[in-house]
Amino acid sequence: MTEQLLAARYRLEREIGAGGMGRVWRARDIRLDREVAIKTVDLSGVRDPSLAGRFQREIVLTARLTSPYTVTVFDGGVDGSTAYLVMELLRGESLAELIARRGPLGLTATLDVARQVTLGLAAAHAVGLVHRDIKPANVMLTEGGRVKLLDFGIAQLTGQADPHLTAPSMTIGTAAYMSPEQAAGLRVDAATDLYALGCLIMTMMTGRPPFDGDQPVVVAGHQINSAPPRLNQRRPDVPQGLDALVAGLLAKTPLERPSTAATLRALEHLQGNPSAATVPVAVPPPTPPPTAAPMQPTRPYTQPAPAQSAASHGVRGPAHLPQQPGSWWIAGVLLSLMAAVLVAGLAVNLSGLALTNLGRAFPSASASARPSSASPKPSVTASKKKTTTPDPGHAVALAAALQGVQLALNSLPDSAAKSDLGQRWSTTSSRIAAGTNPKDNLAAFEKAVRASDLQGWERQAVLTATGIVKSLL
């Protein structure tokens, strides 16, 4: 790559955006003499071997989409140490920019944007794609009034993700729009995007998502463990039908959410009948938070009041816990709470999800938790041995605690140590879940953490999470 010319064809003119997956440029295709948008990712010095593969996958998968509600991909490849993706250049503003400029949207505008986003999702889901990062910044409002979905950079083929590209326990996405299963590092599908759509509608109507805050690990914890607010609690003037639809989209269990097609029908019905009290889709009531646990429940995160001093702008955790400085403390408390809730039999509000998705993510652990149906073989010492029934709750708790370590790793700033430990943990957690020398494997991982370049709260967050796992072994 020369200073201004990419792949001997594209002249980079001006940077128009940047994010976790690279930069976006306004550029000119000198061969066809047209303006384009180009996304670039600098691969030099990147120790993560999966990055180039993920980017190449983005090119192939995004090129499958031909919907008018998704951005069109023209070309892509790697030039030296720079991976690039050539797309149509869109003129307009993102939904995030619109909300920041105007505040919450009206009902008509919200329904129109939500319907077009759903049409884009329908096209993606039809070819087996899950976006996994639906949020206002990835929704483009073009000058012609068309809504387009951007950045399928972290999308994956449903059920066909290459384990060498994205580890099963890796959590990718934006915490404020992340489904419970995604926040827990479990397998995702179309229902994950629909949960994010519910968060998106909440943001359009109220100016903020169901859960928000400065600490992604805290927000992710609320996505898993806290009952979301009802839309009409924040904005009483919304029609009952839209309130019910959003409640269904924000269901904790994926199977309880309406399908993409059903969601589209509901939005079209509301567009034609804005004051409708019902929508043509079975939408479950919001799942109430568990009450049987011998501990105080967490409550949704709320931003500090503007009048508070800078010293008081810390993250607000569970109501009964004191505020303390240090991200490591926040991460450690959250993970401890998650594990405690699971051990108490609550399964972090995922009672149905735990037996399906957690079992899918950790088949060995869930299989070992199920009592065998086979009759025990007779033994001369059988009468002298104490027979115990495996505890399914323990297997679920262990699986969640393993995911808790991944959550702590995901909360760290990008670094070589984070990448190395992430790869180590992927192998370690699989071995622990399979029952392969769990204590020895965990001890080896803890040794690697202590020998790494992690310092302060970063090291403490990971060690706190591994300590929870150790308590369950």
CATH class for the domain made up of 92-158+168-272: mainly alpha
**Same CATH fold assignment for domains 5-87 and 92-158+168-272:** no
Of the candidate ranges 27-31, 40-44, 253-257, 282-286, the one whose mean pLDDT is the lowest: 282-286
Q: Where are the domains of the chain?
A: 5-87, 92-158+168-272, 325-370+389-472
Q: Which helix (H) or strand (E) holds 93?
A: strand 92-94
C-alpha 384/C-alpha 186 separation (Å) is 42
* Chain Cα centroid distance, residue 247: 19
What confidence tens digit (pLDDT) does each residue in 211-235 have? 999 888 889 999 999 999 999 999 9
E strand map for 20-54 = 22-29, 34-42
Write the CB contacts of 242 (distance below 8 Å, at least 6 apart in sequence). 107, 111, 201, 205, 231, 270, 279
Kindly tell me the burial class for residue 9, based on how many C-beta atoms sit within 10 Å of its own C-beta (0-12, 13-18, 19 or more).
middle
**Under 8 Å between Cβ of 58 and 155:** yes
What confidence tens digit (pLDDT) does each residue in 150-196 have? 887 556 545 444 333 343 334 557 899 999 999 888 888 999 999 99
**287: pLDDT strictly greater than 50:** no
Percent of the chain with pLDDT strictly greater than 70: 68
Just list the catalytic residues. Answer: 133
**382: pLDDT strictly greater than 80:** no
CATH class for the domain made up of 5-87: alpha beta
C-alpha 43/C-alpha 76 separation (Å) is 15
**Tokens 């950045």 identify what position?**
151
Residues in the chain, overall count: 473
